[in-house]
Chain A
Amino acid sequence: MQIRIDKAFGSGAQAGIINVLQIKSELGGSAVTSIFILTETLTVGPLLSTSTGEMFKIFESNLLSAFHVVQRFFPDLLENNRGHIVSVSYPAFTSWGKKNMVPYISSKCGMEGFMYSLEDEVRHHLNQADIKFTDVFVKLHLAQCAMDFGSSLRFD
């Protein structure tokens, strides 16, 4: 087994650049058949006091990271006509009704849309390839977690 842990992708213009060929060689020629998306970044704060950079970082963590990885490794799944994309996250709808969470909820809704639309794309445009999509919604105490950060329920 080879597990690579990128603790941080460094900083600067080259930060976070991951070589797909290198990853494939690390996997020893085995084609990627499963992609697990577990990213979850939660920040709480009023929209007007949230910087553009901070908002971008939330979207990058919660949504764009999945987009990048799936886009790069999707050809492998199609080639083998087998694959499973699993997204494990808190459902966006459990966050509705809480204040100061605009970027987070937006990114979560984006992630749900990404999964559903990708599944539709496979079904309709990619010859119904045998690729499974699973959304695992974790029922965690997100409300409490968010309130610890300064959010609150609408009707409390």
Chain B
Amino acid sequence: MGANSSGVSKAVVKCLAKEKPKALILIDTCEADEHLMKSLEESGTQAVYFRIGNYTRFSLDATIDKVNANKN
């Protein structure tokens, strides 16, 4: 399931071509497929790819609070 399944990566690539984001985050349950990786590379987008595999726990830490504290 995920980006390796039919057409999912195509949907992402289409969004990439239209939006042209400078930085993006992807969350997926399987490895990024070649088509998607190649498109990311060509677009020059900074990307962070999270893969959630084998039912591992997934959570972000509380550092965002520090970010907000610094802003204030």
**Chain B interface size range:** 35 or more
Complex interface: chain B residues within 8 A of A134 (CB) = 15
**Chain A interface size range:** 35 or more
Task: Encode A100-137 as 1/0 by CB contact (under 8 A) with B.
Answer: 00000000000000000000000000000000001010
B25 smallest CB distance to A (angstroms): 5
Complex interface: chain A residues within 8 A of B61 (CB) = 17-20
Asked if A140 is at the interface (CB within 8 A of a chain B CB), the reply is: yes
B2 smallest CB distance to A (angstroms): 5
Chain A residue at minimal CB-CB distance from B47: A3
Q: Contact: A84 with B67, CB < 8 Å?
A: no
Q: Contact: B67 with A20, CB < 8 Å?
A: yes
Complex interface: chain A residues within 8 A of B1 (CB) = 40-42
Q: Contact: B52 with A3, CB < 8 Å?
A: no
Q: Contact: B5 with A69, CB < 8 Å?
A: no
B60 is contacted by which of A4, A20, A28, A88 (Cβ under 8 Å)? A20
Q: How far is the CA of A16 from the CA of B23 in the complex (A)?
A: 22
Interface positions of B from 45 to 68, Cβ below 8 Å from A:
45-61, 63-64, 66-68
Q: Using CB atoms and an 8 Å cutoff, list the residues of chain B in contact with chain A.
A: 1-3, 5-8, 11-12, 15, 19, 21-29, 31-32, 37, 40-41, 44-61, 63-64, 66-68
